[in-house]
């Protein structure tokens, strides 16, 4: 059940199998003609909410969507195993997710600078991208995986609360300063999310997402479907300004 930071944590978990040889494959998404057995997992990459498991002859792209999960070492008792890779000392198992086979050229097309969790994250470029879409609502921009790859509904809501901006604000109405703040806070919150998720205290730190009252003024938090994607936004009418 992931946003970008959860995927980064998952990658850190899976990392211990990099360099190891696959002994057994299972799951519904293994191509019949795959020669993956005996190959070495050479690298794991993530982009936003996607994870790439890179082998010599095949690259798996895993997306957990809303309800996907994974386990290490042991196969869980879930009947929607999509991909299971067993190594010498345990394995990795992905359930209820979307698994696709991709080739190298797909990886080459990815704009890694759009990933909020990546070292390659490019805030300057993101600012330019936003400025080019003045009629877009900021809530839609944040949920756009080509612009803020890895941001999900929690990060969107919490980051907007931190900068005091109403989710339905139009990008064209925001000052450059405000745009910069949003871009900075999307990544900042991503790393806080990761830290809190790892410590299992994420929901304790929600300030606005699924909250009843605004932590600043105490007013009732508004819950509304916003933007083209109609995803739920939580916000305070008083402390988040509509630009």
Partner DNA sequence: CAAATTGTTTAGCT
Partner DNA sequence: CAGCTAAACAATTT
Residues that bind DNA (CB under 7 A): 1-3, 6, 48-49, 63, 65-67, 69, 78-80, 95-96, 143, 145, 152-154, 203, 209-210, 223, 228-232
Residue 1, CA atoms < 13 Å, CB-side half-sphere: 5
Nearer to DNA, 175 or 204 (CB): 204
Nearer to DNA, 96 or 188 (CB): 96
Smallest distance from DNA to CB 88, Å: 27
Smallest distance from DNA to CB 95, Å: 7
Between CA 113 and CA 169 the distance in angstroms is: 25
Nearer to DNA, 230 or 238 (CB): 230
Smallest distance from DNA to CB 181, Å: 21
Smallest distance from DNA to CB 180, Å: 23
Q: List helix spans (H) across 71-163.
A: 104-109, 123-131, 138-143, 153-163
Measured from the Cβ of residue 173, the count of other Cβ atoms closer than 10 Å reads 13
Contact at 8 Å (CB) between 149 and 4? yes
Strand order in the sheet with 98-102: 43-47, 50-54, 59-63, 98-102
Query: Residue 86 — φ and ψ, nearest 5°?
Result: -105, 130
Measured from the Cβ of residue 41, the count of other Cβ atoms closer than 10 Å reads 22
Residue 55, CA atoms < 13 Å, CB-side half-sphere: 20
Nearer to DNA, 120 or 228 (CB): 228
Nearer to DNA, 91 or 227 (CB): 227
| Residue 7: its H or E element | helix 4-14
Query: Residue 22 — φ and ψ, nearest 5°?
Result: -75, 130
Smallest distance from DNA to CB 50, Å: 7
Nearer to DNA, 178 or 185 (CB): 185
Smallest distance from DNA to CB 122, Å: 19
Nearer to DNA, 22 or 136 (CB): 136
Between CA 209 and CA 207 the distance in angstroms is: 6
Smallest distance from DNA to CB 127, Å: 21
Between CA 129 and CA 75 the distance in angstroms is: 43
């Amino acid at each position: 059940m992931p946003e970008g930071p959860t995927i980064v944590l998952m990658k850190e978990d899976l990392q211990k199998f990099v360099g190891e040889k696959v002994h057994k494959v299972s799951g519904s998404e293994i191509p019949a003609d795959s020669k993956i057995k005996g190959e070495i997992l050479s690298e794991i990459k993530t982009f936003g909410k996607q994870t790439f498991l890179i082998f010599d002859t095949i690259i798996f792209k895993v997306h957990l969507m809303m309800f996907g999960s994974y386990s290490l070492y042991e196969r869980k008792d879930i009947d929607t195993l999509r991909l299971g890779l067993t190594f010498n000392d345990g394995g990795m198992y992905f359930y209820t997710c979307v698994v696709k086979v991709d080739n190298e050229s797909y990886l080459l097309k990815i704009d890694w600078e759009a990933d909020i969790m990546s070292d390659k994250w490019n805030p300057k470029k993101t600012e330019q991208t936003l400025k080019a879409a003045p009629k877009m609502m900021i809530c839609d921009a944040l949920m756009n995986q080509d612009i803020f790859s890895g941001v999900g509904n929690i990060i969107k809501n919490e980051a907007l609360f931190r900068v005091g901006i109403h989710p339905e604000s139009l990008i064209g109405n925001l000052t450059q300063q405000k745009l910069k703040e949003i871009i900075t806070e999307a990544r900042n919150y991503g790393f806080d999310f990761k830290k809190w998720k790892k410590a299992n205290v994420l929901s304790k730190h929600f300030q606005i997402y699924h909250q009843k009252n605004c932590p600043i003024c105490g007013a009732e938090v508004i819950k509304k479907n916003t933007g083209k994607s109609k995803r739920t936004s939580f916000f305070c009418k008083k402390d988040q300004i509509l630009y």
